[in-house]
Amino acid sequence: MSYKGPVYIWKCTVCGDKHYAKNPPGSCRKCHSEANRYILLPNNGQGSGEELQNYFGIPSLNSLLYLIGSTRKDIPNAMCCSSVTQITYGPPQVAVAINKNTLTHDNIKETGVFSLVPLGHSQTKMAHHFGRNSGRQIDKFLDYQQKPAKTGSPIIEGCDSYYDCLVDHSATIELASHTLFVAKIIEAAVKTSEPPLTYLDYIKNMSNF
Ligand SMILES: Cc1cc2nc3c(=O)[nH]c(=O)nc-3n(C[C@H](O)[C@H](O)[C@H](O)COP(=O)(O)O)c2cc1C
């Protein structure tokens, strides 16, 4: 295998179990400790053998990074997302792939709406905050202000643009680990004051957070 890319290795600080994925598991499969007992091990940014086989992200595609905002029972949440693409112009539609373990997934399934917020080049810290923590464990909006868009989904302080989205459940596709939500943009505010944040930008700077 010639691919050289970053590998995430999470280690349970209670029993030492290793987990190869972008995020730690919900709980340790061996000692059942909570996800927050896992630490991300430093590595040389290259993968081989078992590590590569277990690594499932494809940052070499270098997607742009977004926050996906959702609100359920009046509690706002947001997560970082790279699996986002525009699919049609008329009507304006996007597709986003959301892991079924996330709170965001449950929120969108139930409410059928979300906000899509592009991250700017200087916002790696936000990508890390919203992408490395789950709203199941912490309130991610203790550190950031937000206000509701038309659908009630959060627009996040410090972000120039947003797209307010309504899910088309009939076009949405169930994948094994993710749901590919297809949604229509019903409102948007688009300003571009800085270049977008990419997955590779994030990988280069994530160790600072
Ligand atoms: C750079 C980056 C990109 C990510 N891209 C995705 C993605 O495309 N789809 C996804 O389901 N999770 C993605 N995640 C992981 C979620 O952001 C993460 O699981 C988050 O903790 C879920 O939060 P929630 O449980 O509050 O919804 C990404 C994380 C990071 C840091």
Q: What is the pLDDT of residues 133-189, one digit of tens each?
A: 999 999 999 989 999 999 999 999 999 899 999 999 999 999 988 999 999 999 999
Q: What is the whole-number distance in angstroms between the Cα of residue 79 and the centre of ligand 1?
A: 5
Cβ(119) to ligand 1 under 6 A?
A: no
Q: Structural domain boundaries of the chain?
A: 9-57, 60-208
As given in the structure block, the two tokens for residue 107 are 């929120």
Please indicate whether residue 127, judged by its CB atom, sits closer than 6 Å to ligand 1.
Answer: yes
199-206: average pLDDT? 84
Cα→Cα distances 86→52, 154, 158, Å: 29, 20, 23
The reported pTM is: 0.78
Longest dimension (CA), the chain: 53
**Region 54-82 average pLDDT:** 84
pLDDT at 5: 56
Among 70, 83, 102, say which to mutate for ligand 1: greatest number of ligand atoms within 8 Å of CB: 102
Residue 123 in contact with ligand 1 by CB distance below 6 A: no
Spatial distance between the Cα atoms of 127 and 208, rounded to a whole number of angstroms: 12
The answer on pLDDT for 4 being more than 80 is no
101 CA closest ligand 1 atom index: 25
Q: Cβ distance 156 to 144 under 8 Å?
A: yes
Write the class of the CATH domain 60-208.
mainly beta
Pairing of strands 113-118, 146-148: unpaired
User: What confidence tier does 2 reach under pLDDT thresholds 50, 70, 90?
Assistant: very low
**Side chain identity, residue 139:** D
Sequence-distant (6+) residues with CB within 8 A of 90 are: none
| Domain 9-57 matches domain 60-208 at the CATH topology level | no
CATH topology (fold) of 9-57: Rubrerythrin, domain 2 (2.20.28)
pLDDT at 48 over 70: no
**C-alpha count within 13 angstroms, C-beta hemisphere, residue 85:** 8
Q: Is 198 in the pocket of ligand 1 (CB under 6 A)?
A: no
Under the banding of pLDDT at 50, 70 and 90, the label for residue 59 is low
Q: What distance in angstroms lies between residue 13's CA and the mean position of ligand 1's atoms? A: 22
Ligand 1 center to 183 CA (angstroms): 18
Average of per-residue pLDDT across 43-66: 58
Residues 6+ apart with CB under 8 A from 175: 97
Task: Determine how β-strand 84-88 pairs with β-strand 75-81.
Answer: unpaired
Residue 48 exposed, middle or buried by CB count within 10 Å (0-12, 13-18, 19+)? exposed
Query: Which atom of ligand 1 is nearest the CA belonging to 97?
Result: 9
